[in-house]
Amino acid sequence: MLITVGPAKLLEAPDSPAVHKTSPEIVSVENASGAMRVIPFGDGRGVEALRAIRAGEVIERSPVILVPEHDRVAVDASNVGSYIFMWEHDTTGEDLYSQKGRAAVVLGYTSLINHSPDPNCTIVRYIDALAIDLIALRDIAAGEELRIDYHMTLWFTPI
């Protein structure tokens, strides 16, 4: 993983989980495949392509942690609630508002992908396998922000 501070590369993070480096000025974190990185976006974050990505390419496959229905009220009201995915068969993002059924926290960059009504990526949820794929809908150029359609009534005004 490459961590960047400002315009300069700060460090190559070693494999050892015992080594910790911190900086309040981190502006990007690159994923292990080198396909994408987290970037500042408005008041939050976004994810951009670091290389050209082909239509149909699986950009990321991530495991998820389930949020049981009985925990949904607390999780949905927290900051984490803005990053969860509905995790039941035959549901969409809009079903999150009912607070019925399980949700999931994605352990990857997919949870940081911003919304677009004209997305360049889509997700495929593997409900029983507890995994999610981020897939390119079209060719994506290096430097282009990755976007998905949340398939729900938005709780924010898109930028």
CA pair distance 73, 32, nearest whole angstrom: 34
Q: Phi, psi (5° rounding) for residue 123?
A: -115, 150
User: Is 54-138 CATH 2.170.270.10?
Assistant: yes
DSSP state of 22: -
| Confidence (pLDDT) at 115 | 85
Q: Phi, psi (5° rounding) for residue 52?
A: -65, 135
* Tokens coding 123: 């997700």
CA pair distance 92, 20, nearest whole angstrom: 38
CA pair distance 139, 87, nearest whole angstrom: 28
For the chain, the domains span: 54-138
- Decide if pLDDT at 58 tops 90: yes
- Decide if pLDDT at 18 tops 90: no
Sequence letter at residue 107: L
The mean per-residue pLDDT over the stretch 9-16 comes to 46
Q: Give the range among 25-34, 114-123, 138-147 with minimum mean pLDDT.
A: 25-34
Please give the sequence-ordered ranges of beta strands (E in DSSP) within the chain, or none if there are none. 2-5, 8-12, 26-30, 36-41, 44-49, 58-67, 84-86, 103-106, 114-115, 121-126, 131-136, 147-148
Q: Phi, psi (5° rounding) for residue 45?
A: -135, 165
CA pair distance 21, 129, nearest whole angstrom: 34
pTM for this entry? 0.77
The mean per-residue pLDDT over the stretch 128-148 comes to 95
